[in-house]
Amino acid sequence: MSPDSAPNTGTTAAPVTEAARYQAPRATVDPDTTKTWLRRAMPILRAHRGIFITSLVLSFVGLVLQVQIPDLLNHAIDNSVQHHTVPLHFYVWWVLGLGIAGGIAGYVSRLFLFETAYEIEYDLRNIIYEHLTRMSFPFYDRVQSGQLISRANSDIRSVQMYMTFAPMILVQCSIALVAFGFMLSINVPLAFVAMATMPFVFLVGHAMRKSMFPVSWLIQARLADVATIVDENVNGVRVVRSFAAEKQQLNTLASAADKVQWGYVKDADLRARWTPAVQNLPQVGLALVLAFGGYMVIHGTLGLGAILAFNFYLLMLQAPFMMLGMIIMMGQRAAASAERIYEILDEQPTIVDRPGAVDLVDCKGDVRFEKVGFSYGPDLPLVLSDLDLHLRPGETVALVGRTGSGKSTVARLIPRFYDVTGGRFAVDGHDVRDLTIESLRANVGVVLDDAFLFSVSIRDNIAYGRPDADIADVEAAARAAGADTFIRELPQGYDTVVGERGYTLSGGQRQRITIARTLLVNPPILVLDDATSAIDVQVEQQIHDALRVLMEGRTTLIVAHRLSTISLADRVVLLEDGHVVADGTHAELLETTPRYAEVLAQADPDAAAALEVVERNGSDPGHRVT
């Protein structure tokens, strides 16, 4: 039976891409690693410059309106309270009007500011996730998931907060220039006295920034370590409980948390040293204004309203400069977070399409390994060495071998999860490196021994490879995998949402759903990596009956341990030390290769008894054990 004639489990896989249903980021991070972290992130901020600049302009307008109020009070005291030349209500209405206008400008400004912040966060998160989807398996082999989660959450939040709120605080600090202009218009000498402390604020802030950066980096790194420990304990909770290792893991988490606490305490110590200076230096200006301005008022060279206006200006400037210490702290944490994010984004996938790569279309399923060598790393030993293996179109081949012989590695090379380090691996005569990855994987269905399910409904899990599949096709695939019966017994049937990684189901149930997920795609090449290991014998027989029909006309590689699984194969290949040492039918290998019987006996405890029966009854070289 050809893949096209498989019983209503979908159509032959094709190299097509589902259209994106989300708003893609408007820009991405600058790839130039020689630039500062902020300059590399600027394209993202520029993509939202319209609403962001509007926010900053409105903030500036609101502050300018507020700056005029002390000047009005100065004139009100001089003209209305002391000399009675202007009605007092004139200034009262002006102050109320400026206050209302400033409040409206501030409201719209903060609304646009937060909208910009969340849009930047959205863009950064999608940029990272898109990059992670392109990364190759060697990357995930060495990177901890907790580190990735931390960088895609807390680190992104640190960067977006600084990119949006730092300019806003700087705008508020820049209002000092406007206030300084008003103070100059009132009294030039006193204006310079009032602003005398500002250069010291800048110098203290610079020193604070240099001292806080290493601690900020350390805190973010240690937070990621805590996230890794939590992630591993949640995902590995069954292992932890089975070894009664709860206290051990709590001690590990407590140790990591202590390191984070040390970093936060050190950070607080630095802030306690520097922040008071940054915040209180402007208050020294108040004392200077009171001393010099009071002297001038007493001697009649300055009006009373003027000294009050100066004090109001300095009080208005006090809040932005108090936030200056916070923005310096945020800047150092953002710099550390950005560098950690760039460590991921600067990594390039190793498994990519070559220039000129072509789609694999009308796949016949001819799979060939030619003198293939493979290692998981440049400093690691070879897993496969001089491997020659040919899977003819429509043939089912069982791959047998001891643990560590390279069986699963062969299965991972077929969909090009990894590239061979020597020799050539070809599909339909094409070196897979000359084919587009998408089209190759669209024609290869993989069922791994680790049955992973997503935390969605069973229907969505089965239809993962074909989201547009109707329920009839989903049910047909489930029946073929022997899953339909137990699915219908669940409370919501196919709409039942499985728990984390599918652990609300048994191992055998999860495995059958993953088989159904692959069958629905109906690929011309099928890889079963010990796919029925978690299924009991009775259910396994039901699945095998369905698989025998579905595998007709389809090239299938089975990583096998059980005799019952080997019975599905037309041919058995014995793998040892990364290369083929025997190839033939099950019966032929039993007769000619003693190592084959030894491997089966070690891998399957029931195999020894079965082999004895075969030896007593004799064997037909063409017979397939059932």
Q: Could you read off the pLDDT of 88-134 as tens digits, one per residue?
A: 878 788 888 888 998 899 899 999 999 999 899 889 988 988 888 88
Q: Using 50, 70 and 90 to split pLDDT, how confident is the model at 619? A: very low
348's tokens: 């390039």
Question: Which comes out higher in pLDDT, residue 605 or 538?
Answer: 538
Single-letter residue type at 213: F
Mean pLDDT on 416-426? 92
Query: What's the rounded mean pLDDT across residues 222-244?
Result: 69
Compute the average pLDDT of residues 376-399: 90
- Give the model confidence (pLDDT) of 132-166 as tens digits: 888 888 888 887 777 777 777 778 888 988 899 88
Question: Which string of b and e fits 298-307 if b means at least 16 CB within 10 Å?
Answer: eeeebbebbb
pTM here? 0.70
DSSP string over 234-255: HHTHHHHHHTT-HHHHHHHHHH
Of all residues in the chain, what percent carry a pLDDT higher than 70? 84
What mean pLDDT value characterizes the chain? 80
Q: What is the CA radius of gyration of the chain?
A: 35
The β-bridge relationship of strands 367-375 and 422-427 is: antiparallel
Q: Which of 62-71, 322-331, 553-562, 572-581 has the lowest mean pLDDT?
A: 322-331
CA distance 268 to 107: 32
CA distances, 369 to each of 254, 470, 573 (Å): 49, 37, 13
- What pLDDT sits at residue 625? 40
Closest CA to 566 of 587, 581, 550: 587
Domains plus CATH for the chain? 37-345 (1.20.1560.10), 358-443+525-534+546-617 (3.40.50.300), 450-522 (3.40.50.300)
> How many residues does the structure list for the chain?
626
CB count in 10 Å sphere of residue 246: 12
Task: Write out pLDDT tens, residues 28-38.
Answer: 888 898 999 98
Whether 397 contacts 572, CB under 8 Å? yes
Spatial distance between the Cα atoms of 207 and 568, rounded to a whole number of angstroms: 72
- 113-to-55, 105, 125, 246, 608 alpha-carbon distances in Å: 6, 12, 18, 45, 72
Q: What pLDDT is stored for residue 426 in this prediction?
A: 94
Structure tokens at 407: 């069986």
Residue labelled with tokens 């006309």: 553
How would you classify the pairing of strands 396-401 and 444-447? unpaired
Is 241 or 494 the better-scoring residue by pLDDT? 494
pLDDT tier at 53 (50, 70, 90 boundaries)? very high
- For residues 382 and 373, is the Cβ–Cβ distance under 8 A? yes
Question: Average pLDDT for residues 439-461, to the nearest whole number?
Answer: 85
Contact 208, 216 (CB under 8 A): no
Q: Enumerate the β-bridge partners of residue 422.
A: 373
Q: Which of 315-324, 368-377, 442-451 comes out lowest in average pLDDT?
A: 315-324
User: What are the φ and ψ backbone dihedral angles of 19, each rounded to 5 degrees?
Assistant: -65, 140
In this prediction, residue 397 carries a pLDDT of: 92
Of 8-12, 208-212, 382-386, which has the strongest mean pLDDT? 382-386
Counting DSSP H helices and E strands in the chain, the numbers are 22, 10
What's the pLDDT at 296? 82
Which tokens belong to 430? 């094409």
